[in-house]
Chain A
Amino acid sequence: DTGVSQNPRHKITKRGQNVTFRCDPISEHNRLYWYRQTLGQGPEFLTYFQNEAQLEKSRLLSDRFSAERPKGSFSTLEIQRTEQGDSAMYLCASSRTGTGADIQYFGAGTRLSVL
């Protein structure tokens, strides 16, 4: 169990550029979640996958955001045409169903700065 891994840890980009983040969940965890955390706030849910199926998306996830989990293992989150308001910490979490309270384990996050 090596924990949830997110790459890159930091990303600086110019407004209008596209960015992609990767999340590698804990092996054998079938659920994968994306959250966004802005300064001084708690994380906010964006979307989640069960295996390779994306089953729920928040209203926060505009059309410029897309997430995939093609083989039910790692996931990517892409933001197209970035805006300054996209600057935040993007957190990934994973969990395994059937383990009681469905405890989510978080990665260290990818901090995005849009200039």
Chain B
Amino acid sequence: GNSVTQMEGPVTLSEEAFLTINCTYTATGYPSLFWYVQYPGEGLQLLLKATKADDKGSNKGFEATYRKETTSFHLEKGSVQVSDSAVYFCALSDKNPGTASKLTFGTGTRLQVTL
């Protein structure tokens, strides 16, 4: 079955530091890949997505590249801010119409950014 593995947190960084959160996946075929973010007390929000190999998703300074050869979708940001403190989830959905794009999530990585 499908699965997503994320690096364990928490990740604690100083403001303006470089961020990498690792994500690898196992899936049949060529899934779509997503990063969702969950701020305290709020619902999951889509941060970025990529639907095919070598696609780069980007949003709000965050980037992730769909690497089929390493089955990875690592999240990066060049300079984090305190407001980026949240839990980040990597997820995939396969493109089999029969499974209707249900999402398989990783366990989440908590990011804490300090001044």
Contact = CB atoms under 8 A, between A and B. Distances in A.
Interface of A: 4, 31, 33, 35, 40-45, 48, 50, 55-56, 91, 93, 95, 100-109
Given A42-B106, A105-B46, A106-B43, A95 B4 contact: no
Interface stretch (B12-20, B73-81, B95-103): B95-103
Of B36, B46, B101, most A-chain CB atoms within 10 Å: B101
Contact of A102 (B89, B93, B105, B106): B93
Given A41-B107, A100-B51, A4 B43 contact: yes
B103 A104 contact: yes
Nearest to B100: A48
A55 B102 CA distance: 11
B91 A42 contact: yes
Interface string B61-84: 000000000000000000000000
Contacts of B34: 101, 103
Task: Identify the 9 closest CB pairs spanning chains A and B, nearest first.
Answer: A42-B105, A102-B101, A106-B44, A108-B43, A106-B43, A45-B102, A101-B32, A101-B51, A43-B105
Nearest to A108: B43
A56 B106 contact: no
10 contacts: A93-B44, A101-B34, A101-B49, A101-B93, A103-B34, A105-B46, A106-B36, A106-B45, A107-B43, A109-B43
Given A56-B99, A105-B46, A108-B41, 8 more contacts: A40-B108, A42-B106, A56-B102, A100-B51, A101-B101, A102-B93, A102-B101, A106-B43
